[in-house]
Amino acid sequence: MSEISAPIVVMTGATSGIGRLAAIELASRGAHLVLIARSEVNAEATGNAIRTVAPQAQIDIHYADLTRLETVSAVGQTIAREYGRIDVLINNAGIHAFAPRTTVDGYDEMMAVNYLAPWLLTSTLRETLIRSAPSRIVTTASEASRHHGKIELTGDMFAPTRFSWLGSSRIYGRTKLLDIMLSLELSRQLEGTGVAVNCLDPGFNVTGLGRELSFAPMLERILTRLKIGDPRRGAGIIVRLAMDAEFGTATGGYFSVKDATPLEPVSPADDPNARQALWAITHEVLGAIS
């Protein structure tokens, strides 16, 4: 980590859920937060929540719609120009859509937000992170990746597909599998640069549970009362990978929310050749934007 007292942490998905809790903890540890948000209202509320705990926190807000990949590229380029260094990039934003939606770019919405956007943002900030080494890239994946169904590594896998709310978990799991593959392949590519690249399973977290389901608020209240799915655990593993010394040099890991135990990814994320093939496919699909 940089010797300067305020490490610069770029983060998506910090305006709600475990991301907001992680941002608050990062600020309390002295991080200079550079948050990428979509909603000005949510960003302002998050800034207020952070300053309640860390009044002197440095917080910069940049705006992008992760369903619109040109805005992702643009915000990445802006951040690369404005900051001399980046100590940590945290790809935390994600959605679980319970009905199929197509982005303006023609991709499945979950694929765009959960995988294509972090791939593009990371690629845009890659050289800055290398120049800033020792630095870190942390990506929020999920053990839902174990339920991804059948996957074929072609450019068509990003295209919209029909699914019911029950079948949405398979698509969500697929996007998180790709996040793991992204992280592990990037670790290989950046070996020896001083950039530590890791991903994590945040476990089950009540906060923001099934936002699109009508019964979600009631279920969230019940689970909170039963102390099931404490979001502080999910936030904690993000902060550990971003800030703790033991993860400053560890790279190429996929870690559990349970005591940061290493996890073995499911196939094909366990195959280096498949990971490289996915990278090549994604680069071909997004090359014009990046």
* Residues acting as catalytic residues: 172
| Among the listed residues 41, 140, 162, the one whose alpha carbon sits nearest the alpha carbon of residue 90 | 140
Peptide bond into 217 cis (omega under 30): no
φ, ψ of residue 262 to 5 degrees: the values are -65, 140
| Among the listed residues 126, 175, 133, 179, the one whose alpha carbon sits nearest the alpha carbon of residue 290 | 126
Looking up tokens 């593993």 gives 237
